């Protein structure tokens, strides 16, 4: 996941760069709003962390310009301004969330995670197929009211099937969108099949109707029947 941090204070910028990189994010720092625009035009980012007090065009102007160019990218404002009025202005200008300095790093990480989930999809958080229910925000899954204990990968796999409910999902799609691997020398087919088998045991072994179906030669789909 690629983050653009627009922050003029060298110390803060470096701390954010180090901390977020350690968490596995790909971080790029811009020291001015202009540099921020330039970077946004030159590379795809998943989220922007934006300081409000910047030299030249301040953060609010940067934000307004981004929004007028129709960028739907999530923006988290991080600033020392903490009056209610400033928050309202920031959110009105199109920020998705607001964090006041000084803040705990864990808090920043939590906000980024929440925004990236929201940014990834405006699809509903609660999903349902037959008596299988999932909550994409709490990552809780149940079937017939009984909680299922899934691994993170199994959850993502199931969520992908459910979000594509009624459509056949190929192994290539799963490799690309769930495993995020393309162009591997050896296909992930066996790995995917093992995960599907495990998921099927947890979802379908003790319940009817069976929900996870194999469509021979094509892939998988979820639903009460394959038709
Ligand atoms: Ca600043």
pLDDT in tens, 44-57: 888 999 998 888 88
Whole-number Å distance, alpha carbon 162 to ligand 1 midpoint, is: 43
Helix (H) or strand (E) segment spanning residue 97: strand 97-100
Smallest Cα–Cα separation from 99: which of 121, 120, 74, 119? 74
pLDDT in tens, 22-75: 998 999 999 999 899 889 888 888 899 999 888 888 888 888 888 777 566 888
* Better-scored residue on pLDDT, 132 or 42: 132
Whole-number Å distance, alpha carbon 116 to ligand 1 midpoint, is: 23
Q: Could you give phi then psi for residue 41, rounded to 5 degrees?
A: -80, -25
- pLDDT surpassing 90 at residue 139: no
What pLDDT sits at residue 83? Answer: 67
What pLDDT sits at residue 118? Answer: 65
Near ion ligand 1, which residues have CB within 5 Å? 8, 51, 53
Residue 76 DSSP SS3: strand
Whole-number Å distance, alpha carbon 143 to ligand 1 midpoint, is: 49
What pLDDT sits at residue 184? Answer: 65
Whole-number Å distance, alpha carbon 113 to ligand 1 midpoint, is: 23
Whole-number Å distance, alpha carbon 146 to ligand 1 midpoint, is: 50
Whole-number Å distance, alpha carbon 124 to ligand 1 midpoint, is: 36
pTM (2 d.p.): 0.53
Smallest Cα–Cα separation from 50: which of 19, 83, 21, 81? 81
pLDDT in tens, 83-93: 667 777 777 77
pLDDT in tens, 186-201: 778 889 999 999 999 9
Whether a cis peptide bond, with omega within 30° of 0, leads into 209 is yes
What pLDDT sits at residue 8? Answer: 95
50: β partners = 6, 77
What pLDDT sits at residue 220? Answer: 96
* Better-scored residue on pLDDT, 216 or 67: 216
* Contacts (Cβ under 8 Å, ≥6 apart) of 183: none
Whole-number Å distance, alpha carbon 79 to ligand 1 midpoint, is: 7
Calculate the dihedral angle through the C-alpha atoms of 64, 70, 71, 77, rounding to the nearest 10 degrees. Answer: 20
Rounded to an integer, what distance in angstroms lies between the CA atom of residue 195 and that of residue 200? 8
What pLDDT sits at residue 226? Answer: 66
Average pLDDT over the chain, rounded to whole? 86
């Amino acid at each position: 996941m690629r983050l653009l941090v627009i922050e003029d204070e060298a110390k803060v910028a470096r701390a954010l760069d180090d901390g977020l990189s350690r968490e596995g994010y790909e971080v790029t720092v811009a020291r001015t709003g202009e540099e921020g625009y330039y970077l946004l035009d030159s590379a795809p980012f998943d989220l922007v962390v934006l300081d409000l007090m910047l030299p030249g065009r301040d953060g609010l102007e940067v934000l307004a310009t981004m929004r007028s160019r129709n960028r739907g990218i999530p923006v988290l404002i991080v600033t020392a301004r903490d009056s209610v009025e400033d928050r309202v202005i920031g959110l009105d200008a199109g920020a998705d969330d607001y964090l006041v300095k000084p803040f705990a790093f864990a808090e920043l990480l939590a906000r980024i995670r929440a925004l990236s989930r929201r940014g990834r999809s405006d699809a509903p958080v609660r999903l349902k197929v037959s008596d299988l229910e999932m909550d994409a925000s709490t990552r809780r899954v149940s079937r017939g009211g009984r909680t299922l204990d899934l691994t993170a990968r199994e959850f993502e796999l199931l969520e992908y099937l459910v979000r594509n409910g009624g459509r056949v999902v190929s192994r290539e799609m799963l490799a690309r969108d769930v495993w995020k691997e393309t162009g591997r020398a050896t296909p992930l087919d066996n790995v995917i099949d093992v995960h599907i088998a495990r998921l099927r045991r947890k979802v379908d072994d003790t319940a009817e109707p069976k929900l996870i179906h194999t469509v021979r030669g094509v892939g998988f789909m979820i639903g009460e029947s394959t038709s």
